């Protein structure tokens, strides 16, 4: 993921479910017992977060806030896609006192729906964009190759619990969904 100066990125709402269920992971791992369900749930969440970081995609619907200070661009790349909708675009003073919220007619998304374009320059020293992104609300909305890459990654983490490096097979599948921005 690209990093920009003077920018903060915050997840403001987590996905309501994971792209891979504990049941699916246990089938993939060939585990029948329930003793390690909590561990498997943690591994699923960890692999989702890593998959999102590698692909720069939100897998299940979630909300993010990106904040810029000083030299605010009129074209604002939104770090996680696919964008579902922009919730708000607000500007603040130095003390983070709300100065105003832009009307939806004052901005739009570009054709690729990954960059917010402001119709005019913002008037405050701090701009915050809140948006919702993700493939959808259900696990089946996430592309199957990403879910399969997660299962491979979960299996690797389950077998070697001290390793965070995604297996090459997972990375290959994740990278198919990564969009490079210039």
Q: How much is the pTM?
A: 0.86
pLDDT of residue 4: 46
Residue given tokens 């996430």 in the structure block: 142
pLDDT of residue 181: 66
pLDDT digits (tens, 9 = 90+) for 9-60: 899 999 999 999 999 999 999 999 999 999 999 999 999 999 999 999 999 9
pLDDT of residue 71: 78
Beta-sheet strand order (sheet of 107-109)? 75-77, 115-118, 107-109
CA distance 131 to 153: 29
Going by C-beta distance under 8 Å and a sequence separation of 6 or more, which residues neighbour residue 35? Answer: none
CA distance 171 to 182: 21
CA distance 71 to 83: 24
CA distance 31 to 154: 13
Cis ω for the linkage preceding 82 (within 30 of 0) = yes
CA distance 16 to 134: 12
User: What residue ranges of the chain are covered by domains with CATH 1.10.3230?
Assistant: 18-59+138-175
pLDDT digits (tens, 9 = 90+) for 75-100: 999 989 999 999 999 988 888 899 88
CATH code assigned to 18-59+138-175: 1.10.3230
Beta-strand ranges (E) seen in 16-103 are 62-69, 75-77, 83-92, 98-101
pLDDT of residue 6: 43
pLDDT of residue 125: 86
Beta-sheet strand order (sheet of 98-101)? 7-13, 62-69, 126-133, 83-92, 98-101
């Amino acid at each position: 993921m690209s990093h920009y100066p003077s920018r903060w990125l915050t997840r403001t709402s987590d996905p309501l479910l994971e792209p891979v269920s504990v049941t699916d992971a246990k089938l993939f791992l060939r585990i029948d017992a329930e003793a390690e369900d909590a561990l498997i749930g943690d591994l699923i969440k960890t692999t989702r977060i890593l998959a999102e970081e590698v692909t720069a995609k939100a897998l299940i619907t979630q909300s993010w806030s990106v904040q810029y200070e000083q030299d605010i661009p009129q074209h604002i790349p939104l770090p996680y896609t696919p964008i579902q909708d922009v919730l708000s675009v607000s500007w603040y003073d130095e003390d983070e006192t709300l100065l105003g919220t832009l009307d939806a007619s004052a901005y739009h998304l570009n054709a690729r729906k990954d960059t917010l374009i402001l119709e005019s320059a913002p008037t405050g020293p701090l701009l915050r964009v809140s948006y919702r992104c993700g493939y959808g609300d259900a696990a089946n909305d996430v592309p199957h190759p990403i879910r399969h890459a997660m299962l491979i990654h979960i299996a690797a983490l389950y077998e070697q619990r001290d390793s965070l490096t995604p297996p090459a097979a997972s990375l290959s599948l994740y990278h198919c969904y990564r969009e490079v921005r210039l």
